[in-house]
Amino acid sequence: MKYRQLGSTGIEVSALCLGTMQFGWSADEATSFEILSAAYEAGINFIDTADIYSRWADGNPGGISEKIIGKWWKQAQIPRENLIIATKVRGMMGNPPTEGLSGKRIQKMVEDSLRRLDVEYIDLYQAHWADVDVEIEETLRAFDDLVKVGKVRAIGCSNYSGAQLREALEVSEKFGLAHYETLQPHYSLVHRDEYEAELAEVCRENNVGVIPYSPLAAGFLTGKYRRDKKAVSVRAEGMEKYFTEKNWTLLEVMDEIAAAHGATVTQVALAWQLADPVISSPIIGANSIAQLNDSLDAVELVLNTEEKGRLDNLSA
């Protein structure tokens, strides 16, 4: 496994990050343990979760993914310093449930995440979405306090707009507060504008590490969806938005590139992202060891200039 710097933190993370939204949802605890162990043995040290994962599933109150991770690393006797654990705060959680990024709420929610993960500190604590009802200075001061007392090593954000990220970085600089070291955007070959329009430039200018989620477009870029083939998946609903002539053509070219390298469509999609030095670690999800193994080989796949250009042009 190859490793990269996480923004300007000095933290080394694996070139692929294991996402865990599926834990306790489409992957039960036993399967989740198997995936975590296989990923760790393959060299993945970076694990991403969120406090709300996965509240939308029947019978899931949220926090289940964090609990599974905490139980796994203790049972597997993994040295804590060998793991880079990232989680997020913002969504509806707690009893009674609350949401948002107020300073008081962040201070409470971090304690809940620490307990579920069974850790004394979180390596990367992220704002899951911006909170327009709370001044960004209040949010950043709460994060800064957590960094100062050692409960959090670094902070990041997810689903921010370019303007929101720029404002947050400016406020941190103005008041000497911990600043967002990472951005977690929705980004893939079939979903480029949201990140590339403005966020990419902000990240390059400020050395913000990028850890994209859904780099495989919820499975569309694995090749299991075809013009004449329906896939069975818990995420199949809503996939029709990707069913365009442009994207079918893109998949055909990805097939060609994959065949030339003895690779898979999944690996081509991830290698395309890894060709960008601003991207620290795309987040991969897996419901099985087979899915995990398919993604792992992407770190060894290097696209040539022509291949990268074809993918850029076809997905523009």
- Give the residue carrying structure tokens 């029947």: 58
Report yes or no: 134 and 101 within 8 Å, Cβ to Cβ: yes
Scanning 153-229, the segments in alpha helix (DSSP H) are 162-175, 193-196, 199-206
Structure tokens at 195: 């990140």
Residue 242 annotated in active site: no
CA–CA dist 155, 168 (Å, integer): 12
> Residues 3, 40, 53, 195: which is the catalytic one?
53
Count helices and strands (H / E) in the chain.
Answer: 11, 10
Q: Is 118 within 8 Å of 74 (Cβ atoms)?
A: yes
Query: What is the C-alpha separation between 195 and 46, in angstroms, rounded?
Result: 22
Q: What is the CA radius of gyration of the chain?
A: 19
Question: Residue 241's CB: how many other CB atoms inside 10 A?
Answer: 11
Residue owning tokens 């991770």: 69
Active site residues per annotation: 53
